[in-house]
Amino acid sequence: MHVVVVVPTYNEVDNIAVLCERVRTALPDAHLLIVDDSSPDGTAGVARLAGDRIGGITVLQRVHKGGLGAAYRAGFAAAIQLGAEICVQIDADLSHDPAALPALVANVEHGADLAIGSRYVPGGRTVDWPRGRQALSRWGNRYAAGVLGLAVNDATAGLRAYSVAALELMEFETVAAEGYGFQVEMTHRLVRAGGRIVEFPITFSERVAGESKLSGGIVHEALLLVARLWLEDRRGRRQRRRSGG
């Protein structure tokens, strides 16, 4: 199956070449699609040079910094145009080990609609994170899973592989979240659509180079998103009861 690895970037000049090389080693036949929000540090140019060197890399450079959700929506659409049957997403900051990608893809090839590299299943872990950030991440995932009934341990995980059929079923183009809540909304949509989700353990490491994109605003957006999705679910249940469904 044709695999396209979608990597959103903003100011990742110190990481992007290494990531491209490691992804190529892990998935020699995959195509890399770098979605860069016009990084002022020259990330897109370094990615193009990596493409000249190792091949199989397309750089989609957007005019403005538009957020993670917008980058993935654009990336998935472009990946489908490239003939993708499986879309992989991975962070550019080397927090995810590309060596996990073959297992991620294999799960989708064997029938999963979504495979998640999870920090919060047995065997999964985070390395070099401050305790406060670990607690925030764990609490956020438990909150989202509990409120929305997701039965997923790591709904905010950024290391994922989707079948293109699942993306189209979910109508990914209409997902509204822009920050890390994008992962939660995508998970929620697939659960509601009856998709099959598989989680397997990974080690998540704190970035070495560059700056984290996590902010208080992003956390606030994610909390509001969960509340919005809960209200939508509740309205949907009421409408079904009224219609006799």
Mind listing the pLDDT tens digit for each residue in 123-174? Answer: 999 988 778 777 778 888 888 888 998 989 999 999 999 999 999 999 999 9
What CA–CA distances, in Å, run from 99 to 27, 90, 93, 144, 238? 9, 12, 15, 28, 45
Helices in 112-199 by DSSP H: which ranges? 131-148, 164-170, 181-192
> Residue 239, exposed/middle/buried by CB under 10 A (0-12, 13-18, 19+)?
exposed
Q: Taking 50 as the threshold, does the pLDDT of residue 17 lie above it?
A: yes
Q: Judge whether 120 and 141 are in contact, CB under 8 Å.
A: yes
Q: What angle do CA 44, 48, 53 make, to 5 degrees?
A: 145
- Residue 30 has what DSSP assignment? P
Percentage of the chain modeled with pLDDT above 90: 67
Give residue 154's domain range: 3-243
- Per-residue pLDDT reduced to its tens digit, 183-194: 999 999 999 999
Closest to 224 (Cα-Cα) out of 170, 177, 175, 171? 177
pTM of the entire structure?
A: 0.89
Number of domains present in the structure of the chain: 1
Would the CA dihedral through 209, 144, 124, 178 be positive or negative?
negative
Mean pLDDT of 68-82: 96
The Cα-based distances of 185 to 25, 87, 179, 206, 237 in angstroms read 31, 17, 10, 24, 18
67: domain CATH number? 3.90.550.10
Q: What's the CA gap between 53 and 46, in Å, rounded?
A: 11
